[in-house]
Chains A and B, each alone.
Chain A
Amino acid sequence: MKILVTFKSVPDPYAGAGAAAKSVINPFDEIAIEEALRMRERGEATEVVGVTIGPAQVDEQIRSALAMGIDRALRIDDSRALDPYALARILYSLVTKEAPQVVLMGKQAVDDDSNQVGQMLAGLLGWPQATFVSKIEFLDDKKRARCGRETDSGIEVIAVKLPAVITADLRLNEPRYVSLPGLMKARKKPIETLTCEQLGVKVEPLTTILSISSPPRRPSGVRVTSVEELIAKLKEEAKVL
């Protein structure tokens, strides 16, 4: 069984404020990669192919994914700011070419939080989708997958026929760190570069980002000297009592 796992390069969400924004693999995608690797280690998957869309700079994240253990990587060379539908269409053409049984993705990227590409890709492919997944088991000789979905009211368990698109939630697993032997092996693994033209897909973003602004900085607090003062401030200044 072949698994296609997608990943996006995002600014490190754990970098301290003011630190130079280093790029990392989107944490949810890292979870998807980990799950694919575990499927291969359990003997359920035979090949794990990673794919990302971006300019040559994202090769660093591709090498991280290769060092984690994916078998090979594809980069669709495109430096435009593409929207979820455009990304889904590119992935659609790639999925038809690679023909995996499962497409594993992070539920969303932590930079734009759009949470749409997996759903749109499943729609374009006409495949079932299991989103926000925290547990995956294969059933019926890998003809179906049983997936636990994290919803506000609890875990919803569904079964999807394969091939399917599955998107990973936070609790699916804890990704491994890159080991030095993994890093050395990654240097010998191939990174294939493709263009939208080669894939025969023409996309233009339908959405344009007009502006991004950071939330206002929280003003520093004040120290109160008594409970009375605290209550007075909560009533008069914060107006929460």
Chain B
Amino acid sequence: MDFAWSDQQKELLAAVDRFVKEQLNYDMIENDRNAVFNHDAWKKCAGFGIQGLPVSEEYGGLGQDPLTTVAALERLGYGCKDNGLLFSINAHMWTAIIPLIFNGNEAQKKKFLPGLVDGSLIGGNAMSEPNSGSDAFALATTAVKKGAKYILNGSKIFVTNGPIADVLLVFAATDKSKGAQGISAFLVEKEFPGLDLSHKIEKMGIRTSPMGEVFFEDCEVPEENLLGKEGAGSWMFTRSMTWERGSILAAHVGTMQRLLETCIRYANERKQGGQSIGKFQQVATKIVEMKMRVERSRHALYHYGWAMNHRKAVYMEAALAKLEISDSWVKCCEDAIQIHGGYGYMVEYEIERELRDSLGSKLYSGTSEIQRNIVASLLGL
């Protein structure tokens, strides 16, 4: 394994470092309190090239490999404190763009990819249902072919970007008798009749990323918006899930690095009993543990990226990266609050928000329990 960056990668990563010094973090406390999506920062990120990192140049993207992509996202997370914005970007990239790249026909790619890359379109996916979460393929939403259209009925929950989406990748059962093999994927555009995106859901953390419930009532989807073949939905979902699982927390390796630096600064500045609190072993130990977690997480992330660059089956690496980074992120936030004492618990210090933002990472894109199931089954258990 070689993680030494080439000159071109160095140049690209340095450009991200410069970009994140731009204004992406304004009004963070207010936006979090009021659950406001920062559309302007979304556009800035797209204009800079973030959303298009893994998309080929033909469709306006940058054609970067998985390792370079996650490394760029890591740096974005270091500079950008808006975890909700990062979450929206990730949902857009891994659950809309990636399935389109792998399964879209030329017309679909031409129609959607350039807009998804330049930020004029916001994408997402609608998989989970009120009664189908970790049991992902037990879908109640149906799609029935009528002439040149599919008619969708049902509802979806926890749809990231739902309330602001222009196009959603919706999974629905075209043939219930076939179970997982009877699931198909549709590109549902916000204007389609019978689609209702208006139901927002309020969350504990990543509040600046809009999430909603989505309802389909005889929603008409033209047949050219079927992604891939009928019945290929579950396979497609599993494939893009590997990308999603491994990459979705890349930015938060950067977040942890920033938290670590914040804590070191504070531990040196804050004096109690005539000395910096960093001189107290209990504080120092917490910071050392943070450092260990950052390094382990970074290694797990790069290992996943490297594996993606070199082979196809990366289920193990993706699940391990997701587990390692989510556990570490939550623990780093807890420690950061503890090191900052009462101040860390106050909104103004912007650390309590990090903890609220981090907790969802053990739930979305497969809970930590599901990741452990995957690892266990790959270990032959």
Interface residues of A (CB under 8 A from B): 63, 67, 177-181, 183-184, 187
**What mask results when residues 41 to 74 of chain B are scored 1 for a CB within 8 Å of chain A, else 0?**
0000001111011000100101100000000100
Q: Which residues of A contact B16 (CB under 8 A)?
A: 180
Tell me which residues across on chain B come within 8 A of A177, comparing CB atoms.
15, 18-19, 22, 48
Decide if A181 touches B49 in the complex (CB within 8 Å). Answer: yes
Bitwise, B13-28 to A at CB < 8 A (1) or not (0) is 0011011001000000
With CB as the reference atom, state the residue of chain A lying closest to B46: A179
25 pairs of residues in contact across A and B, judged by CB atoms under 8 Å: A67-B15, A177-B15, A177-B19, A177-B22, A177-B48, A178-B15, A179-B15, A179-B19, A179-B47, A179-B48, A180-B12, A180-B16, A180-B49, A180-B52, A180-B53, A180-B62, A181-B49, A181-B52, A181-B60, A181-B62, A183-B11, A183-B12, A183-B15, A184-B57, A187-B8
18 extra interface residue pairs, beta carbon distance < 8 Å, beyond A67-B15, A187-B8: A63-B11, A177-B22, A177-B48, A178-B18, A178-B19, A179-B15, A179-B47, A180-B15, A180-B16, A180-B48, A180-B50, A180-B52, A180-B72, A181-B52, A181-B60, A181-B62, A183-B11, A183-B12
Assembly CA distance A28 to B49 (angstroms): 26
- For the complex, give the distance between the alpha carbons of A184 and B62 in Å: 7
Listed residue (A67, A180, A184) with the most chain B CB atoms within 10 angstroms of its CB = A180
- Report Cα–Cα, A178/B62, bound state, in Å: 14
The reply to whether A179 and B49 contact each other, CB–CB distance below 8 Å, is: yes
Q: Chain A residues near B15 (CB, 8 Å)?
A: 67, 177-180, 183
Nearest-Cβ distance from residue B134 to partner chain A, whole angstroms: 36
Bound-state Cα–Cα, A180 to B8, Å: 11
The docked-state distance in angstroms from the alpha carbon of A46 to that of B53 is 30
CA distance A179 to B18 in the complex (A): 10
The CA of A180 and the CA of B60, in the complex, are separated in Å by 11
Binding site for A on B (CB under 8 A): 8, 11-12, 15-16, 18-19, 22, 47-50, 52-53, 57, 60, 62-63, 72
Chain A interface, >50% SS class: helix
How distant is the Cα of A183 from the Cα of B49 in the complex, in angstroms? 10
Q: Contacts of B57 on A, CB cut-off 8 Å?
A: 184
Q: Which A residues lie within 8 Å of B52 (CB)?
A: 180-181
Please report the C-alpha to C-alpha distance between residue A184 and residue B72 in the assembled complex, in whole angstroms. 14
**Which residues of A sit under 8 angstroms from B62, Cβ to Cβ?**
180-181, 184
Residues of chain B within 8 A (CB-CB) of A183 are 11-12, 15, 49
| Docked CA distance A63–B14 (Å) | 13
Top 5 closest pairs, chain A to chain B, by CB: A180-B49, A179-B48, A181-B49, A178-B15, A180-B62
A184: chain B residues within 8 A (beta carbon): 57, 62-63
* A183 CB to nearest B CB, Å: 6
A63 to B52, CA, bound (A): 21
Nearest CB in chain A to that of B53: its residue: A180
Residues of B close to A181: CB separation below 8 A = 49, 52, 60, 62
